[in-house]
Copies of this chain bind each other. A is one copy, B any other.
Amino acid sequence: MIIDGLQYANWSEKVFRQMREGGVDAVHVTIAYHEMFRETVANIEAWNRWFERFPDLIRHAKTGDDIRAAKAEGRTAIVFGAQTPAPIEDDIGLVEIMHTLGLRFMQLSYNNQSLLATGCYEAEDPGLTRMGREVIAEMNRVGLVVDMSHSAERSTLEAIEESTRPIAITHANPASWHAARRNKSDTVLRALAETGGMLGFSLYPHHLKGGSDCALQGFCEMIARTAEQMGVERLGIGSDLCQDQPDRVVEWMRVGRWTKRVDYGEGSADAPGFPPQPDFFRDNRDFPRLANGLRAVGFDAPEVEAILGGNWLRFFDDSFGGMP
């Protein structure tokens, strides 16, 4: 079982075929950054068209069993997620609506302050808001996973504490390995592991030590160290693969409609676009290389299977339904 805990490709038949070639059984795909409710619904409509056009390659998944069925059918299961809470606007009732439409992950904040929590680029992090606490309870009730990948430290720790169900950081790496603002402190990783949460390791070059030049061995040694810290069962991949996207898309991800200026996020004026992927992970066909790399640093076969998909599947089983 191979599951990728986050991608935002420029979707096409080519990408879906590469998922099949790479043996990818399920992908959590971003269906919204700054899109409000109606725009997010339009994005789901576009996904419904993909499902109708390529029934031999992909299918929508709302449960772990949908992923098992996809695997048996030789298709890749698509799980919906949102990187900001924009799709629920200011309306807690939209949490259940979005869940009914298939949303299974939602970040409480993305770089900036939201109605719910603080993002990792704000100067101050006052923690969860009043609405943030209400929305976490509602997400817990319906089975929508709290994702704090782009959130600030205090907000993240409070979300881990507030949530009655384990949360996820779908795409980030330990800051102790590479001190990027988006990577996570040992304090966060410890709290995440202690509450049964999941960390998806990112392959986005800004999150990698050495950036685009990061080598497979170094990446896998980092995973091995994190496994000692958090436990193997808390780990997955969240590649953050943004394949075939034009650079205007990374600008949209960073800027949305919150400013009229350019914000470079993890980039810079000299390098405003998507950075090149590392050699060892260019697209979905490279998942077998990750398996080889993990074995080379000492993980046994069941551990490799767990990190590449089994852990996410167990987490999906526990997280996507109503409150047990």
Please list the residues of chain A having a beta carbon within 8 angstroms of any beta carbon in chain B.
37-38, 41-42, 44-46, 48-49, 91, 93-94, 96-97, 100-102
Contacts and interface: CB of A to CB of B under 8 A. Distances in A.
12 contacts: A37-B38, A37-B41, A41-B97, A45-B91, A45-B93, A45-B96, A45-B97, A46-B93, A48-B97, A49-B93, A100-B100, A100-B101
A61 to B, nearest CB: 14
Given A100-B101, A100-B102, A101-B101, A94 B37 contact: no
A44 B97 CA distance: 8
B37 A96 contact: no
Top-5 shortest CB links A-B: A45-B93, A48-B96, A100-B101, A41-B97, A38-B38
A100 to B, nearest CB: 6
A94 to B, nearest CB: 7
Nearest to A141: B52
A41 B46 CA distance: 19
Contacts of A91: 42, 45
Q: Number of copies of this chain in the oligomer?
A: 2
Nearest to A38: B38
A154 to B, nearest CB: 31
Nearest to A96: B48
Contacts of A38: 37-38
A94 B46 CA distance: 11
Given A97-B101, A101-B101, 17 more contacts: A37-B38, A37-B41, A38-B38, A41-B94, A42-B91, A42-B93, A44-B97, A45-B91, A45-B94, A45-B97, A46-B93, A48-B93, A48-B96, A48-B97, A49-B93, A100-B100, A100-B101
A41 B100 CA distance: 11
A42 B89 CA distance: 12
A94 B38 CA distance: 10
A94 B41 CA distance: 8
A46 to B, nearest CB: 8
